[in-house]
Structure 1
């Protein structure tokens, strides 16, 4: 059984930042590591389900020509759209996984702190959707907490094991600490893009 919507509604009641994404050094550092792990400087079209209040989304928007983010909770979607207002090509929508996976292809899919809220069967379906919508040469980034979470049917290590088995892609990054694991898979063997445009100072 997936984590029910009421769980997230309780979290966002009277709290626009229930995980303290903006205050905690742990969260800021993890965001920096996430962005630094992306092998390309820019992406054409990216998707981030489970965007929460859009803190990571805002950072991703600066690296993407087009960004679509999604969350189950209406308040989270409202907050994410507020955060993304300065980026016309970035949008937050309400929806749940796996049923509301968007159409089209993406060259970046970010699965951050979302997998353990889904039961194993639903997560396997998400992995299939990732493979169907990932463009050739695209990247998948996943980052998850490793400790137990009340009300979550999976743990982070299981989430990443299923990703590794189900994606069958080339692993470009594997970073694990005591509290979280961060990994990147690519459709083709990938390294840091050395042909990035020269930025004018």
Structure 2
């Protein structure tokens, strides 16, 4: 069974940064690597589900023309909205995925640190929804903590294996850090150097 919304609501009670996104070097480094893995300087549209308090969202906002973020926790949505208020092209909604997938097409979908909260069946539905919402040259980026998490139905390895199998897209970049897995899949398999005529 996927982790319930009440779990995430509880995390944000009297805490605006339950995972210490702003303080931990681990988080700062991981965000830098996440952004560095992207093969395009800018994207027409990005969707970031599970945005929490919007720390990664603020970085993604500088790389796109339109950003849609969502979270299932009410407090997280309010915090992300406050974090992103300087970005007129960014929007934050309260959605419970996969049941409430948004309308629209996205050039990049960022799945950062939350797919292991979904059970196998819900993750399969989410992947299928992502495929349906991707632009013809779309990409999916996923990043997940490798250590076991109490109460999570899946591990990072299980999540990334299922993503790779079900997306059916080329994996164009990968970081297998001792702490986390970071993968980028793309419908456009050409390398950055190839696209710039260097090979």
Fold in common (TM above 0.5): yes
Counterpart for residue 30 of structure 1? 30
Alpha-carbon distance in structure 2 between the residues aligned to 1:154 and 1:37: 24
Structure 2 residue matching 1:138: 3-state secondary structure: strand
Q: How far off its partner does 1:150 sit?
A: 1.2
1:84 is matched with 84
Question: What is aligned with 1:199?
Answer: none
Q: Distance in 1 between matches of 2:169 and 2:47?
A: 18
Calculate the aligned-residue CA RMSD, in Å: 1.3
Q: Tell me by how many angstroms 1:192 deviates.
A: 2.4
Paired with 2:147 and 2:69, the residues of 1 have a C-alpha distance of: 25
CA contact (8 A) 1:52 1:80 kept: yes
Instruction: Report what 2:99 is aligned to.
Output: 99
Number of matched residues?
Answer: 196
TM-score (norm: length of structure 2): 0.96
Please tell me whether the aligned partners of residues 43 and 63 of structure 1 are also in contact (alpha carbons under 8 angstroms): yes
CA contact (8 A) 1:41 1:193 kept: no
Consecutive unaligned residues in structure 2, runs of 5 or more? none
| Structure 1 length-normalised TM | 0.95
Tell me: CA distance 1:125–1:193, structure 2 relative to 1, closer, same or farther (3 Å).
Answer: farther
Runs ≥4 residues deviating over 3 A: 193-196
Deviation (angstroms), 1:178: 1.2
Corresponding position of 2:118: 118
Q: The residue matched to 1:139 in structure 2 has which SS?
A: strand
